[in-house]
Amino acid sequence: MNISNLLANGSKILKSNSIKTHVLDSELILSDILKSQREKLIINSNQSVSEKVINNFNKLILRRTKKEPIAYILKKREFWSKDFFVNQNTLIPRPETELLCEQLIKIFKGKSINFLDIGTGTGCILLTILSEISEAKGIGLDISKKAIDVAKRNSKNLNLTSRAKFFTRSLEEIYGYKFDLVVSNPPYIKSIDLKNLQEDVRKFEPKIALDGGKEGLDVIKKVIYKSKTILKKLGLLALEIGHGQHYKVSQILKKQGFKEELLIRDYRNNVRCIVARLKIN
């Protein structure tokens, strides 16, 4: 069997299982197995493949038919043009989060800052900021030790271990520090809405990183309250929030002495991130 036939078979199986990205996923799986760029697969479409490659390919295609996200199957996700290691202990980095990183990098570019990333997961926010701001140092927190292991692995892969520290801690355990920036992409989905999530998210991504409680604001509130005590004067808090949460989060920030400075909208023009400054009393 050649590359072209194998890709066609994989795509056909995925399509029959209602996978919309059947062609792309088939190509991504085979290019990962062959350690080759997708473009080269097309150029070398008549090249024969071994029985071992066919078997590996079919196993991964089968996993994808069960709606397992392609990032977990391949154990990687591109974010900020870098490959981040991912597994089912962390959320899969999303393009919307790149928009948050982009704005924070613009704000702090060239500055020597010390910042905290709450609920770091893969470490994608912290490590992206560090990769673009050479004077910055960051601490990533997560209550999941397995998530912290993933973040440490990514830190090592990106040669950022000297400026990135990761700890398995809850917010309550952070004191004695003052940061220029606190950033967080916390769980913000209402508990009642978890059952309505897409199957690949609902079945495979960690619930602890999705469930924001009754109103979806439980962890967001904790991050805001804690940030008051650990931010330097005029320090910034950057929060990723859920669709439709802007007004409520804005009110909480105001009550806690923060002034909204920047709203970041996603690709559908929804407010998805708020950057607020801690006012001086």
Give the pLDDT confidence of 126-160 residue by residue, as tens digits: 999 999 999 999 999 999 999 999 999 999 999 99
Pair 42, 142 in one domain: no
Pair 31, 136 in one domain: no
Is position 72 within any domain? no
pLDDT at 65: 96
Residue 281 pLDDT > 70, yes or no?
Answer: no
> Confidence class of residue 205 from pLDDT cuts 50, 70 and 90?
confident
Pair 172, 252 in one domain: yes
Is position 240 within any domain? yes
Pair 133, 198 in one domain: yes
CA 91: distance to chain centroid? 6
Pair 206, 248 in one domain: yes
Beta sheet of 258-265, edge-to-edge order:
164-168, 137-142, 114-118, 179-184, 231-240, 271-278, 258-265
Of the candidates 37, 66, 95, which is a domain's last residue? 66
Pair 58, 86 in one domain: no
Of the candidates 66, 93, 115, which is a domain's last residue? 66
Pair 195, 156 in one domain: yes
- Which CATH number goes with the domain that contains 41? 1.10.8
> Confidence class of residue 238 from pLDDT cuts 50, 70 and 90?
very high
Pair 103, 60 in one domain: no
Q: Which are the contacts of 250, defined by CB distance < 8 A and separation ≥ 6?
A: 260, 274
| Total structural domains within the chain | 2
Q: Which are the contacts of 263, defined by CB distance < 8 A and separation ≥ 6?
A: 246, 271, 273, 274, 275
Helix axes 22-34, 51-65, angle to 10 degrees: 140
Is position 74 within any domain? no
pLDDT at 268: 87
Pair 13, 152 in one domain: no
pTM value?
0.91
Is position 56 within any domain? yes
Is position 85 within any domain? yes
Residue 179 pLDDT > 90, yes or no?
Answer: yes
What b-and-e string marks burial along 212-245, b requiring 16 or more CB atoms within 10 Å of the CB?
bbeebbbbbbbbbebbeebbeeebbbbbbbbeeb
Say which residue, 163 or 174, is predicted with more confidence.
163
Say which residue, 243 or 63, is predicted with more confidence.
63
Pair 212, 99 in one domain: yes
Is position 174 within any domain? yes
pLDDT at 42: 82
Q: Which H/E stretch holds residue 181? A: strand 179-184
Indicate the length of the chain as a whole number: 281
By C-alpha distance, which of 239, 241, 173, 182 is closest to 212? 241
Of the candidates 31, 66, 101, which is a domain's last residue? 66
Is position 71 within any domain? no
Greatest mean pLDDT among 32-46, 81-95, 199-213: 81-95
- Which CATH number goes with the domain that contains 139? 3.40.50.150
Pair 16, 136 in one domain: no
Q: How far is CA 63 from CA 9, 25, 56, 161, in A?
A: 15, 11, 11, 33
pLDDT at 210: 87
Pair 31, 133 in one domain: no
Residue 175 pLDDT > 80, yes or no?
Answer: no
Q: Where are the alpha helices (DSSP H) in the chain?
A: 3-16, 22-34, 38-43, 51-65, 70-74, 95-108, 124-132, 145-157, 199-204, 218-230, 246-255
Instruction: For residues 88 and 150, give the distance between their C-alpha atoms in angstroms, rounded to a whole number.
Output: 10
Mean pLDDT of 58-77: 96
3-state secondary structure of 1: coil
pLDDT at 93: 95
Owning domain of residue 57: 3-66
Is position 139 within any domain? yes
Q: Are 151 and 117 in contact (CB under 8 A)?
A: no
